[in-house]
Amino acid sequence: MPVHNSHIADVLNETADLLEIKGENPFRVRAYRNAARTIESLGQAAAELIEQGKNLADLPGIGEDLAGKIEQIAKTGDFDLLTELKAQLPEELIELLAIPGLGAKRIAQIHHQLKVSSVDDLKAALDAGKIGRLEGFGKKTEQNIREELEKLSRRPPVRTLLFRAEEIAASLAAYLKKAKGVKDITLAGSFRRRRETVRDLDILATCTKDSNIMDHFVRYDNVQKVISQGRKRSTVMLRSDFHVDVRVVPEVSYGAAIIYFTGSKEHNIAIRKLGIQNDLKLNEYGLFKDRKRIAGKTETEVYKTLGLPYIAPELRENRGELEAAQKDRLPKLITLEDIKGDLHVHSTYTDGRHSIEQMARAAKKRGYPYIAIADHSRHVSVAGGMGPDAVRKQIDEINKLNEKLTGITILKGIEVDILEDGTLDLPDDVLEKLDLCVCSLHYKFNLSKQKQTDRVLRAMDNPHFNIFAHPSGRLINQREPYELDMEQIFKAAGVNGCRVELNAHPDRLDINDLHCKMAKDMGVGVVISTDAHQTEHLDYMRYGIGQARRGWLEPDDVINTRPLDSLKRLLKRS
Ligand code: DGT
Ligand code: CA
Ligand code: CA
Ligand code: ZN
């Protein structure tokens, strides 16, 4: 069972943090961080590469010494150096890393200069005003840390990003299928409903009587602890502290069990009530009339016997799906196959890793007839944002590529910053040469709600504004959305012919499911884009599709399902 790249990257990053806190040589610290980044963005599992006899030292940013260490992590999941560092440093000191805005460098400083080794020490130092007086901290940082500490104490338990859960689920499911006598495996729960984060995995299986599935399951390499093991149900905790339940169910009940464990709980309660109204009893074993099972084998059969069409898992949140099903008005949800192109991707012109040509070829390989390059504008200087000259150069290159390449059209786009006063970061005579403008906020996140909203509304008055990118600005589990009045913004988007992006990056999924539904109800077009910074990221599209389906979106609600000529027409504002 290979160790995942994300786990290797976590171990390397944590090692870098602890080395930095200890006060080790900054070059050594950086080497670990670079290696983590390289591993994280590999297109293939590092463990696989090693198995094939490849030398990781051939990868950028990884030397011979680190290659050997990564091999240890990839093979065992553990890393001696990290274990040692954890033993050397106080546990409570390490826990300070959970505070956003603090970071290893600052923790090192407060540890060495103020002898802070725990959250309590940190609180005392804050109260004594010592933090703000440290070099490089200041009053603002002090206030920031205070707020983050408060937030942390109120924070609900951490949920795992869907995309991480997917990595775990895919290899675990493949592993489970290898057990003796396994017939079928279903991943249920919030995972199947494509929620952006999941608390745990709920797996259902059918198998023969002599199956060894539970013994096989608890022997899985990534298991840290077996919490319980039984014939019908077992629970383990994986190395990443993530819990997994496996339940074996009889085939006659499989569909009913899948419905029950897919949830949501609210949906289950609603359909059970509907059953009761018809003198039927629904539970995870089946649908019963006077103790006789009248359905249970498949989901479709259970829904049908309840008088309902099949309801897609993404809709099962008790947000009106039952009423819609009863009236036979369920949406015909969008699928990955409906998508014709990606309208927000980066290239080496700014902070992307692959050239325009590489991105275009990768898009073509995914069956897209078009793709839009949308690199950053100059205000995002850390990403090497483009000024007018760079834009002109990029336009020339795209024109040439469009002559050279067949089967794919590259649209000239830009991700232009919305400046603080609501103007766009490039002059109109540059923007008018482009096919589309993806507009986004990248700084001044803390304006008041009305100011932030006005900033965006003003930007939409610019006739070049096509798409509002990652509208809420949230990073799941990391950064709260900025204050924005989405209703006002969607209203203005509708009036001005602007569209809103559903950014499919698994950390963002922005707009969220509820806002997708709101956009649909208000008649505002949605664009599902990946914000890819390298070719592999184009595959993030499926997370966007999951969120879109949760938001009831149909192909017609999403403009990048249109063929190129009608898309171009839609992008003309007048
Ligand atoms: P999660 O794990 O928090 O991301 O979300 P879920 O939906 O996967 O929740 P989980 O793992 O607690 O339970 C899996 C499913 O089992 C849930 O979606 C519905 C069902 N379920 C759990 N508890 C109850 C309950 O008390 N009543 C009913 N009707 N269903 C339940
Ligand atoms: Ca779950
Ligand atoms: Ca569960
Ligand atoms: Zn972007």
- Per-chain residues with Cβ under 5 A from ion ligand 2: 189-190, 200, 202
Is the CB of residue 265 below 6 angstroms from any atom belonging to ligand 1? Answer: yes
pTM over 0.85: no
Residue 476's H or E segment, with its range, is none
Closest C-alpha to ligand 1, atom 18: 263
Is the CB of residue 199 below 6 angstroms from any atom belonging to ligand 1? Answer: yes
Mean pLDDT by 10 residues, the chain (574 residues): 80 95 93 93 88 90 91 87 88 86 91 91 91 88 89 76 94 96 98 97 97 96 89 91 94 98 97 96 96 97 98 98 97 98 97 96 98 96 92 98 97 98 97 97 94 98 97 93 96 97 97 98 98 96 98 98 97 81
- Determine the Cα–Cα distance for residues 229 and 247; give it in Å rounded to an integer: 10
159 CA to middle of ligand 3, Å? 12
Residue 503 CA: distances (Å) to CA of 287, 314, 433, 511: 40, 18, 25, 7
- pLDDT, tens digit, 9 for 90 and up, residues 29-88: 999 999 999 998 888 889 899 989 999 999 888 989 999 999 999 988 788 899 889 888
- pLDDT, tens digit, 9 for 90 and up, residues 191-247: 999 999 999 999 999 999 999 999 999 999 999 889 888 889 999 999 888 999 999
Closest C-alpha to ligand 1, atom 10: 189
Amino acid letter, residue 478: Q
189 CA to middle of ligand 3, Å? 7
375 CA to middle of ligand 4, Å? 7
What's the token pair of residue 144? 């920031």
Ligand nearest to the CA of 190: 1
Closest C-alpha to ligand 1, atom 1: 199
Domains in the chain and their CATH numbers?
5-154 (1.10.150.110), 160-248 (3.30.460.10), 253-326 (3.30.210.10), 336-571 (3.20.20.140)
Give Cα 286 to chain centroid, integer Å: 34
User: For the residues of 33-65, what is the DSSP string, one character each?
Assistant: HHHHHHHHT-SS-HHHHHHTT--GGGSTT--HH
Strand pairing category for 286-289 and 292-295: antiparallel
Is the CB of residue 366 below 6 angstroms from any atom belonging to ligand 1? Answer: no
